[in-house]
Every structure is written in C-alpha cells, then in structure tokens.
Structure 1
C-alpha cells in the first residue's frame, strides 16, 4: 500500500510541477496572457486524446505494467527535451512540446494509478473512504510542493524544471515495477472500451450525475489555474512569488479539507459531504470573480482551490463504490475524459477573453457550477440508495 502511494506521489509531483510551470514559463517569456492560455490548451488536448486508449491499455495489460511503460516513455522524452534546451537555450517551445507529450503519458499513468487504488478499495471495502482519503492526502502534498517548486525552478531556468520532472518520472517508474497489476480484462480496443463505459454509466445513472457535477467544478479549478497568474500579475501588479503563495496556501488548507471530508463521509454521509465541498468550490470562484482587491481575490481563490482534495475524496469514494472492478479502467477513462474537457476550454476562454474580463468569467463559471452541483446532488440522492447513505 505504501509503495502504491509513493509511486503515485512521485508521478503526480512531476505532473504538478510541469502543469504549474508551463503557463509561468510562457507568461514570463512572452508576456502574453493569450499565449499562456493557448499553452494550457496545447498541454491538455493531447492529455484528453490519450485517455480512451489509456483505459483500454490498463484493462488489457494491467495497471502496473502500463504505469512502468508510460513512465519509461516520459523519461525518454524528458531527456530529449533537456538535451535540446542545453544545446539551444532560446528554444523555450521545447518545454511546451514536452509538456504536451508528458501530459498525455501522465493520463496513462493516472488511469493506472486510479486502478491500483481502486483494487485496494475492492480488497478492503470497509476502508474505502480512508484509502481514498489517504490518496487525497498524497495528491495534496504533491500539489503543495509542485507550485512552490515550479515558481522556484522557473526562476532558476527551464532546463532545471524539465530535468526534475524527468527524474521524478524515472523514480516513479522504477518503484512501480514490483507492483502487482490489476487483473487484465479481455483485449478491448478504445472504441470497445468506450462502449463498455457508456454501458456501465447507463446501468448506473449516478455516474452520469457525478460527471454533471464534476465538469463545471473542474472548469472553475482550471480557470483559476491558468487565469489566476494573469489576474495576480497583470491585474493586481503582483509577482510570481504571489502566485506560488496562492497555490501553497490552498494546498496546505486542502490537507485539512481532506481529513474533514473523510470524517464527513463516515459521519454525515457521502452526498452531504459532496454537496458542501463542491458548493464551496463554486462559491470561491464567484467570490474571486467579484473581488476588487488582491487580498480578497487571494482569499477567495485559495478557498476555491483548497477544496480540490476534499472534492477528489468524494468523487473517488463514490466511483469506487459504484464502478465494477472488471470495467473500471474503461469507465474511469470516460469520466476523466469528460471532466478534463474543462481544461482546454478554460485555456481557450483565457486566450480569447481580455485579461480585464477574467474575473467576470470566474464569477459566471462559479455561478453555473453552483447550479449544476445542486441539481446533480439532488439527483444522486435518488440514484445512490443502493450504494451509499
């Protein structure tokens, strides 16, 4: 169990570092908010396209084997990008290319990691909330370290950031080798995996409403991830350190949120906890959009992003209880695919909307997310009686 958490931590740290560093690299190098938004799109489109095949590979070959192979490919690409930047220091676009390729491979390791964690929950059904809570802790610790390291390494140089991402991916792949793979399912191509996933969602409508709630909340997270640096640096005249401070505060608070969510699920009920965590995210986005000064924006943005761990604890718990283990890879791929479509959408919106319109955009997205969450949770209450309290 500890090895599974450690492998996941190293893998997520590499991705968190790249995800937060890339917009900063582009914004600092070009000074263009539009290019920073487009870089986010360029990073996320390959990731989304990789998800259907990732689920099929995990179900076909097993989570452990897929994780190791994807990590090896990631390390190889990282070495090539670092070498290229050493030879041509001005070729900052290599970081963008590596970010896109690395992100696509991460979605494969992410699905594999989710399958490994789900297998632990399947073996210990009474400890599902605790296992998912610990996984959420792992995620948030990496989210705490990632932004700090990104802000520091971007100032140190692009090569340093990419080199560390490569080393972290190497360590994750090496440690993942002894992990037992999830029992492979019969060979299934991505199209067949998608058909399987749709069949599972139709058989368990609660999964549809989980996606309805998750997509707009993810949009709020994504808009803050790609848009907050522009609002802080251009709108409020702060520096990169303030951006790193925002992510750090949010991650520290999120650790407490995970424990509260874990306790809330066991004592107050899964759906009630989900409603609170998702609503706080939406309201934080609304507050950040309506803030007129940096302190208020900082507090509201930190509040919205600090619920990420609690939200993921809720989502992972309900998915583990509902999705059949034999089709977990295909189904989780579909759900992750739908949720992550919010990321390139956020990048496009930031690229198109002038920097002065980013806060109103946050307010609107937060309001829509709140409405979607209330409707989805109310429908889940009628659909989840068989699975959860």
Structure 2
C-alpha cells in the first residue's frame, strides 16, 4: 500500500488530498442544494420538492455497498478520478437538455434524472476521498482530529459557498448552474490524476468486488463488532433525521412560512456552513484542551436545544440563526465521529466499513424527503419538533455509551 502524503508535509497533503476534496465538495454542495431549488422553481410544489429530495438520496444510499468494495479493490485515486469524470459528463448532458427545454415535463424529468445519477456518482467520489482521509488520520496518530477537522472544514466551506452560488446561478438559468458544477467535477478529476491518494491493501486488491471481505455486509459486521462506534453512528443517524428534514422542508418553510425567495433558502445553509466552519476550527483547539468526549457531548446538547427552538422560530432571521447554531454543533460532533471512526476501523476493509457507517448516517435523508412530501406546509414545524425529540434521545444515549470508550479520549 502506498503511504498517504503526510510525509511530504502540508504541501503534499494539499496536493494529494485537500485540493481534490475541495473541488469535489463544491460540486456536491451545489448539486445537493441546487437541484431541489430547481424543482421548486419549476413546479412550485412542496410535494414534488420533497420527492426530489428523496430521489436524490435513495440512489446514493444504494451505491455505498458497491462503492466501498470498489475502493477497497481498486484504490481511492482510481475510483475518485472515474466517478468525478463520469459526473462531469452527466451534468454536461443535463445542461444541454435544459438549454433546449428550459421548462415543462422534459425539464422536470431531466432534473429528476440528474438528482439520481449525480447523487450516486457524488457519493462514490466522496467515499474515495473519505478513505484516503482516514488513512492519513491513522498515520497522524494523536493529531488525527486535526486532519479530520481540516477535511470537515473543506466540506463546510464548500457547503457555505455552494448553496449561495447555486441560488445566484439559478437566476441566470439552470444550464448555467449545471455548467459550473460540471467544471468543478472535471477539476476534481484532474487534480486527483496528478497526485496519488491511498492505494488498496494487497488483501483488498485480491478480493473480488462482490466478496464478503469487500462488501457492505462485511462493513456492517465490523460496525456491529465495535459497540462504541455503533452507538455513536446510531445516535448521529437519529440527529440526521432532524437535519435532513430541515434540508428537505427548508425551501418550503422559507418561501411559504416566512415569505422569502428561493435565494434566501440557499442563504440559510450558506450561513449555517459559515457557522459550522468557525465551530470546526474552534473545536479542534477545544479538543486539545477539554478532550474529545467533552466537546462532543457539549455539541450534542447544543444541537438538541437549537433544533427544538428552530421548530418554533417566529421569523426568518431567528430561523436562520438557529439553523446555523444547530449545524455548527453538528460540525463539532462530526469531528468526534471521524476521529473515533479513524481510530477503530481496521485497515484491511477500511472503505467497506466507512461505506457502512455513511450508509447508516445518510439513511434518514430519504425518509426526511418523504416526510416533507406527505406533510402539509402548515404542519412542518410540528414534525420538526418531533424529529428534535428523537434527536435528543439518540444523542444522549450515544454519548452516554461513548463516555468510557478509550478511542474518545485525547
């Protein structure tokens, strides 16, 4: 196995890991938040917006089993390059169709297909960079949380810029937005081709894609064999139901409850990403002083309180601030997850186990889309409050179980 680029210092890490991750994260953020906005603007239907969100996430979840096995067998660089290039080609084709058919059924069908296909390819490329990042974090030892914090900071910076940029580009037209996402995907593929990322282990390379050692089933078994990781992932999955519902219902709540534009809906998540970026930077230093578990538990309490308050936000500004606080707390918990995960997951099936954890964490998102589609707009706040209660229970259980875990100590 080729070693990660930590030996080359900061410059090597930037070229080998951080630069491709930045381009890929920006493409992911723009498509994730931009496509539902296109659906809402085209159909003016809350139900179809929720269904589009579900359609965007279900294929992503289905792709994780095969993606983990592919990365374990062929290596993170090869899978990342091919997935990013394929996504660029799909987006370019979609932009061309929407340029000819800007509205109507053809446009709606094209956007739905793009949501499904780009979602699959985005998760494959994301898993490849996560695998490389986990390898670097393992090599970093006691500084693993700093590597994971940097990766999370890249993701949040992209999430900060992506929704706002997508909203602005949509004012010019959907083809223009998709063209920019195409360029980001192509650049991600180009950057990754120039620099080596982590390659597969000899054991993984010798296994077939469908073998138990390289499949999602093996990853789930590994998660079950690590109780601390299993409880943490389960608790964060419960939390993701609340945040997923906020993402799916956000455009409807902002436009119908608060009377703002679709661009304002995108700005909510840009502001949330900015707050998360600050929180991630702060948590990296806080963990050095207070420890991993204490920082994570504090973030869990803050996230639960903020989500409950968001369900009763009286106006757009308070809604924006509370969502930002919630997502900032989620960012702190993400550092805990990434660090614990990097320390506990065995190296011989790293990608498959990562795929299993990500699958569990993302499984609430399509459910959140269905809840949005089935809930009348005037009842969205009540459903969010119920999700917040589940979030609080899940996080309390997870961090109580994690308290005595050695991997959560720094």
1:159 aligns with 2:172: no
Counterpart of 2:26 in structure 1 is 13
Q: Identify which range, 18-27 or 196-205, moves more after superposition.
A: 196-205
1:88: Cα distance to partner? 2.4
**TM-score, normalised relative to structure 2:** 0.91
Measure, in 1, the Cα distance between the counterparts of 2:248 and 2:196. Answer: 35
1:175: Cα distance to partner? 0.6
1:180 to 176, 190, 197: 197
Measure, in 2, the Cα distance between the counterparts of 1:52 and 1:25. Answer: 29
| Contact 1:150 1:161 (C-alpha < 8 Å) held by counterparts | yes
Counterpart of 1:214 in structure 2 is 236
The 3 A distance-change label for structure 1 pair 37 and 191 is farther
1:312: Cα distance to partner? 2.0
1:362: Cα distance to partner? 1.1
2:64 to 34, 44, 51: 51
Number of aligned positions between the proteins: 388
| Contact 2:66 2:216 (C-alpha < 8 Å) held by counterparts | no
Counterpart of 1:268 in structure 2 is 290
| Contact 1:7 1:173 (C-alpha < 8 Å) held by counterparts | yes
Structure 1 segment 2-151 matched on structure 2, within 5 A? 2-3=14-15, 4-90=17-103, 91-93=106-108, 94-151=110-167
1:296 aligns with 2:318: yes
Q: Identify which range, 185-194 or 104-113, moves more after superposition.
A: 185-194
Counterpart of 2:354 in structure 1 is 332
Measure, in 2, the Cα distance between the counterparts of 1:191 and 1:361. Answer: 41
| Contact 1:215 1:342 (C-alpha < 8 Å) held by counterparts | yes
The 3 A distance-change label for structure 1 pair 285 and 190 is farther
Secondary structure in 2 matching 1:216: helix
1:385 aligns with 2:406: yes
Measure, in 1, the Cα distance between the counterparts of 2:95 and 2:222. Answer: 42
Secondary structure in 2 matching 1:290: coil
Secondary structure in 1 matching 2:311: helix
Secondary structure in 2 matching 1:238: coil
Measure, in 1, the Cα distance between the counterparts of 2:100 and 2:253. Answer: 34
The 3 A distance-change label for structure 1 pair 191 and 300 is farther
The alignment yields a C-alpha RMSD, in angstroms, of: 1.6
1:266: Cα distance to partner? 1.8
Secondary structure in 1 matching 2:260: coil
Counterpart of 2:10 in structure 1 is none
Counterpart of 2:393 in structure 1 is 371
| Contact 2:91 2:114 (C-alpha < 8 Å) held by counterparts | yes
Could you tell me which runs of 5 or more consecutive residues in structure 1 were left unpaired when the two chains were aligned.
Answer: none
Provide, for residues 51-74 of structure 1, a one-character-per-residue CA deviation record: whole Å limited to 9, x for no partner: 111100000110011101111211
**TM-score, normalised relative to structure 1:** 0.96
Measure, in 2, the Cα distance between the counterparts of 1:219 and 1:95. Answer: 24
